[in-house]
């Protein structure tokens, strides 16, 4: 078969992409029959593994029965059922949570931003519209979600188009603390910055604060004990909504259904996508706590916002079947257990001269590379350490997710986020291949004068 890509608009015109034709369990196969261990689930999407027949059957059955209705005209049984399942998972004291569906993470962020604004309008505080987020974060690729994001690499080209109603505070990133402090002596100064920013910008103008409880692609940073609780306290003190973007961390990725559960924090809204339908269909969700939707219900009674494909029945069927599969096979707990094993194996890479840090929770792990461990200086930007590692590992049949941007003008890291069903022997293979790949890429960097020792 000729897979000519002459008409496809690729992410990168300088690359030739391998053509994937099949997925099964933790493996992907290309058109030449080559097998790849999917150690990153695409972009931390695939939670239960590829090609699970009961998910595919659920989608097919739903498509046969009812493939589409517009959310302004009909609800669907599958939408109601999945919403009840997700609402019951909302952390904290029991409350009546409602679920707004989207087709992915960026749409979920956009929706949460608009719900925040609608909430304050409904409450009569019409001057509240600003969203505060953090540098070194990612909330999506659409312009509103990108403005809330603090990933400078991804913002760069579009900066003139990003609305100014978004304020950013420092990242909570201990390995490269932007405030040059050390935990716990820092007394969570990065969280205190939220309060200072609220006061500086005018607390009566702030609608919400949004953060990834564990940062995903931008750095993989895990907050220290107390950080998220302090953030919650500050939001409460100023009556500001707290939105947890769990697009990457949610649905069990970090070893609990929601990452905020590691710290006992209850946000006002939680965003899900990626692992929610494990890549079987595009699906995202905004889980809104009771006070949010009740205010909107009692106020205008409607939200002037929506997507043609929100609540798409086959996607919802995929999400529902994935939730059942997670339950049936106890996969959130598996994510926790195997995640500990994964973290231990990746920790072994620290012995290599080019590995600066290994961090993460559960099945969301990040390895950061440095030219010099003591100074944490990055490799030369144009050497593209992360991408070379990705290519080296892809040649070995292992997929990792390469990223840059932990340092103002560079910095390389990769995300390791396999399906929760990965076996220990497969994790061993991943770690072995990564160690060998890192030795090779590290040698190449040295030879190219890109840094390293
Ligand atoms: C934390 C977070 N939020 C939002 C998004 C955007 O999701 P999507 O790519 O599905 O639009 C991502 C995607 O990587 C993410 O990691």
DSSP state of 269: E
Q: What is the mean pLDDT of residues 189-201?
A: 98
For residue 377, the domain's CATH number is: 3.90.1150.10
For residue 281, the domain's CATH number is: 3.40.640.10
Ligand 1 atom nearest to 103, measured from its CA: 10
Residues 200 and 211 in one domain: yes
The answer to the question of residue 304 being in a domain is yes
Task: State the pLDDT at residue 410.
Answer: 87
CB atoms within 10 A of CB 184: 10
Residues 41 and 102 in one domain: no
The answer to the question of residue 245 being in a domain is yes
pLDDT at 409 over 80: no
Cα separation of 196 and 432, whole Å?
46
Residues 138 and 277 in one domain: yes
Name the residue of 43, 102, 105, 415 whose CB sits within 8 Å of the most ligand 1 atoms, as the mutation to test its pocket.
105
Ligand 1 atom nearest to 104, measured from its CA: 10
What is the dihedral sign for C-alpha 28, 361, 217, 248? Answer: positive
Q: For residue 351, how many C-alpha atoms fall within 13 Å in the half-sphere facing its CB? A: 9
Q: Are 327 and 305 in contact (CB under 8 A)?
A: no
End-to-end CA distance of the chain, in Å? 46
Give, in degrees to the nearest 5, the angle at Cα 140 between 248 and 188: 65
Q: For residue 94, how many C-alpha atoms fall within 13 Å in the half-sphere facing its CB? A: 2
Residues 205 and 221 in one domain: yes
Residues 272 and 357 in one domain: no
Band (pLDDT 50/70/90 cuts) for residue 5 is low
Q: What is the mean pLDDT of residues 61-87?
A: 98
Task: State the pLDDT at residue 65.
Answer: 98
Q: Are 176 and 413 in contact (CB under 8 A)?
A: no
Residues 402 and 270 in one domain: no
Domain boundary among 312, 328, 344: 328
184: cis peptide before it, omega within 30°?
yes
| Integer CA distances (angstroms), 364 to 1, 10, 70, 92, 420, in order | 36, 27, 35, 23, 10
pLDDT at 238 over 50: yes
Residues 91 and 39 in one domain: no
Domain boundary among 302, 328, 354: 328
| Integer CA distances (angstroms), 45 to 211, 437, 450, in order | 19, 24, 32
The answer to the question of residue 238 being in a domain is yes
The answer to the question of residue 265 being in a domain is yes
From atom 3 of ligand 1, which residue's Cα is the shortest distance away? 139
Model-wide pTM > 0.75: yes
Q: Burial letters for 4-27: b for 16+ Cβ neighbours within 10 Å, e otherwise?
A: eeeeeeeeeeeeeeeeeeebebbb
Name the residue of 45, 216, 285, 315 whose CB sits within 8 Å of the most ligand 1 atoms, as the mutation to test its pocket.
216
Task: State the pLDDT at residue 55.
Answer: 98
For 283-334, write each residue's pLDDT tens digit: 999 999 999 999 999 999 999 999 999 999 999 999 999 999 999 999 999 9
Using the mean position of ligand 1's atoms as its centre, give its distance from the Cα of residue 197 in Å.
25
Name the residue of 45, 104, 140 whose CB sits within 8 Å of the most ligand 1 atoms, as the mutation to test its pocket.
140
Using the mean position of ligand 1's atoms as its centre, give its distance from the Cα of residue 145 in Å.
9
Q: Which residues sit with their C-beta closer than 6 Å to ligand 1?
A: 43, 104-106, 109, 138-141, 212, 216-217, 245, 247-248, 273
| Integer CA distances (angstroms), 13 to 9, 152, 403, 423, in order | 8, 22, 18, 36
Using the mean position of ligand 1's atoms as its centre, give its distance from the Cα of residue 122 in Å.
28
Name the residue of 171, 270, 273, 361 whose CB sits within 8 Å of the most ligand 1 atoms, as the mutation to test its pocket.
273
Using the mean position of ligand 1's atoms as its centre, give its distance from the Cα of residue 253 in Å.
14
Using the mean position of ligand 1's atoms as its centre, give its distance from the Cα of residue 206 in Å.
23
The answer to the question of residue 356 being in a domain is yes
What is the domain count for the chain?
2
Q: What is the mean pLDDT of residues 205-210?
A: 98
Domain boundary among 328, 350, 373: 328
**Beta pairing partners, 367:** 358, 414
Domain carrying residue 377: 20-52+330-447
Using the mean position of ligand 1's atoms as its centre, give its distance from the Cα of residue 216 in Å.
9
Mean pLDDT of all residues belonging to the chain? 96
Using the mean position of ligand 1's atoms as its centre, give its distance from the Cα of residue 140 in Å.
5
User: Could you give the percent of the chain with pLDDT greater than 90?
Assistant: 94
Angular region, 323: left φ>0, alpha ψ -120 to 50, beta rest: alpha
Task: State the pLDDT at residue 269.
Answer: 98
Residue from 291, 273, 275 nearest 283 by CA: 273
Looking at per-residue confidence, does 433 or 163 come out higher? 433
Using the mean position of ligand 1's atoms as its centre, give its distance from the Cα of residue 89 in Å.
21
Q: Are 416 and 350 in contact (CB under 8 A)?
A: no
pLDDT at 166 over 50: yes
Residues 292 and 397 in one domain: no
Cα separation of 152 and 136, whole Å?
7
Beta strands of 157-215 (E only): which ranges?
166-169, 206-211
From atom 9 of ligand 1, which residue's Cα is the shortest distance away? 105
Band (pLDDT 50/70/90 cuts) for residue 452 is confident
Residues 298 and 197 in one domain: yes
Using the mean position of ligand 1's atoms as its centre, give its distance from the Cα of residue 364 in Å.
14
Residues 169 and 202 in one domain: yes
Q: Are 337 and 329 in contact (CB under 8 A)?
A: no
Task: State the pLDDT at residue 6.
Answer: 82
The answer to the question of residue 2 being in a domain is no
User: What is the Cα gyration radius of the chain?
Assistant: 22
From atom 16 of ligand 1, which residue's Cα is the shortest distance away? 248
**Beta pairing partners, 168:** 133
Residues 26 and 81 in one domain: no
Q: What is the mean pLDDT of residues 195-202?
A: 97
Cα dihedral value 429, 257, 139, 322, nearest 10: 80
Ligand 1 atom nearest to 137, measured from its CA: 1
pLDDT at 150 over 70: yes
Residues 156 and 70 in one domain: yes
Return phi, psi of residue 327, to 5°: -65, -55
Cα separation of 110 and 166, whole Å?
13
Return phi, psi of residue 416, to 5°: -115, 115
The answer to the question of residue 15 being in a domain is no
Ligand 1 atom nearest to 217, measured from its CA: 16
Task: State the pLDDT at residue 39.
Answer: 98
Task: State the pLDDT at residue 140.
Answer: 97
3-state SS class at 133: strand
Band (pLDDT 50/70/90 cuts) for residue 1 is very low
Using the mean position of ligand 1's atoms as its centre, give its distance from the Cα of residue 274 in Å.
7
Task: State the pLDDT at residue 2.
Answer: 46
Q: Are 284 and 273 in contact (CB under 8 A)?
A: yes
Helix (H) or strand (E) holding 445: helix 424-447
Angular region, 21: left φ>0, alpha ψ -120 to 50, beta rest: alpha
The answer to the question of residue 4 being in a domain is no
Ligand 1 atom nearest to 246, measured from its CA: 1
């Amino acid at each position: 078969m000729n897979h000519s890509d002459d008409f496809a608009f690729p992410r990168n015109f300088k690359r030739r992409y391998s053509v994937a034709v099949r997925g099964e369990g933790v493996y992907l196969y290309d058109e030449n029959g080559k097998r790849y261990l999917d150690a990153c689930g695409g972009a931390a999407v695939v939670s239960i593994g590829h090609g699970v027949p009961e998910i595919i059957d659920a989608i097919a059955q739903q498509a046969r029965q009812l493939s589409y209705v517009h959310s302004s005209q009909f609800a669907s049984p599958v939408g109601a059922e999945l919403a009840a399942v997700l609402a019951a998972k909302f952390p904290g004291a029991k409350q009546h949570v409602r679920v707004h569906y989207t087709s992915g993470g960026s749409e979920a962020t956009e929706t949460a931003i608009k719900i925040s604004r609608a909430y304050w309008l409904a409450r009569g505080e019409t001057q509240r519209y600003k969203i505060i987020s953090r540098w070194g974060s990612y909330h999506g690729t659409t312009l509103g979600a990108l403005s809330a994001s603090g990933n400078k690499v991804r913002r760069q080209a579009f900066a003139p188009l990003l609305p100014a109603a978004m304020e950013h505070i420092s990242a909570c990133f201990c390995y490269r603390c932007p405030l040059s402090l050390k935990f716990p002596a820092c007394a969570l100064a990065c969280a205190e910055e939220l309060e200072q920013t609220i006061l500086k910008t005018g607390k009566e103008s702030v609608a919400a604060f949004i953060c990834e409880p564990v940062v995903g692609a931008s750095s993989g940073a895990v907050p220290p004990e107390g950080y998220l609780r302090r953030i919650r306290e500050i939001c409460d003190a100023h009556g500001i909504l707290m939105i947890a973007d769990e697009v990457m961390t949610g649905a069990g990725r970090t070893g609990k259904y929601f990452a905020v559960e590691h710290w006992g924090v209850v946000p006002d809204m939680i965003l899900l996508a990626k692992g929610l339908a494990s890549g079987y269909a595009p699906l995202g969700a905004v889980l809104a706590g009771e006070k949010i939707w009740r205010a909107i219900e009692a106020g205008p009674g409607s939200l002037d916002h929506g997507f043609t494909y929100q609540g798409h029945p086959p996607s919802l069927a995929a999400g529902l079947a994935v939730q059942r599969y997670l339950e049936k096979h106890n996969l959130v707990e598996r994510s926790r257990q195997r995640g500990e094993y994964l973290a231990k194996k990746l920790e072994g890479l620290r012995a290599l001269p080019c590995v600066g840090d290994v961090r993460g929770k559960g099945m969301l792990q990040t390895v950061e590379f440095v030219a010099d461990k003591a100074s944490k200086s990055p490799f030369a930007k144009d050497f593209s350490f992360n991408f070379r590692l990705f290519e080296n590992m892809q040649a070995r049949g292992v997929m990792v997710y390469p990223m840059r941007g932990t340092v103002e003008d560079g910095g390389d890291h990769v995300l390791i986020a396999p399906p929760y069903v990965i076996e220990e022997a497969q994790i061993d293979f991943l770690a072995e291949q990564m160690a060998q790949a890192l030795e090779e890429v590290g040698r190449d960097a040295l030879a190219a004068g890109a840094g390293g020792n």
